[in-house]
């Protein structure tokens, strides 16, 4: 995009890699708020909208919730600066990192249980082959 030509919603969706319903939903949520309208009510998007949508997409990929994004936008509206937004974003990301670490630990425990159970099943099957009349426990 060259900074001059506004994009239609389908062009924006293709450029950023999201669906048009997603873009409309973000608008309804108030996450995309600078959308312009052409004659006939068609949406037109600028470079700022592209940047905003890419930022939303990045935060979503990092695991931030839409309500968290809404909170960040609200902070920006109140303070008019990125400093408080970035400080809060760090808090949200740190919290999310902690949750990810906890999930990893839970998954590692589950993996150990699976490996142990698989070993016990193999041992049981081997015992069954050695003693065909024995039940598998």
Q: Read off the pLDDT band of 2 (50, 70, 90).
A: low
CATH 1.10.1660.10 corresponds to the domain 1-61: yes
Name the average pLDDT for the chain: 88
Closest by CA to 3, choosing from 36, 35, 49, is: 49
The pLDDT of residue 135: 62
Domain ranges in the chain are 1-61, 63-137
CA dist., res. 105 & res. 109, Å (int): 6
- 40 vs 124 pLDDT, higher one: 124
Does the pLDDT value for residue 134 go beyond 90? no
Q: How confident is the model at residue 42 (pLDDT cuts 50, 70, 90)?
A: confident
**Contacts of range 87-91, beta carbons closer than 8 Å, 24 or more positions apart:** 89/59, 89/64
Rounded Cα–Cα distance for residues 54 and 49 (Å) = 8
**Would residue 81 be called left, alpha or beta, if left means φ above 0 and alpha means ψ between -120 and 50 degrees?**
beta
Least confident range from 15-19, 60-64, 108-112, 129-133: namely 129-133
Per-residue pLDDT, 101: 97
């Amino acid at each position: 995009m060259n900074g001059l030509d506004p994009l239609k919603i389908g062009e924006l969706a293709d450029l950023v890699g999201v669906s048009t319903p997603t873009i409309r939903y973000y608008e309804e949520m108030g996450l995309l708020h600078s959308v312009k309208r052409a004659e006939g009510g068609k949406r037109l998007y600028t470079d700022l909208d592209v940047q905003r949508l890419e930022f939303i997409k990045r935060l979503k990929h990092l695991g931030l919730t839409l309500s968290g994004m809404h909170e960040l936008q609200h902070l920006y509206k109140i303070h008019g600066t990125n400093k408080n937004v970035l400080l809060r974003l760090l808090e949200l990301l740190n919290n999310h990192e902690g949750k990810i670490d906890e999930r990893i630990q839970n998954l590692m425990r589950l993996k150990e249980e699976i490996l142990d159970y698989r070993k016990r099943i193999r041992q049981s099957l081997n015992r069954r082959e050695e003693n065909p009349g024995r039940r598998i426990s």
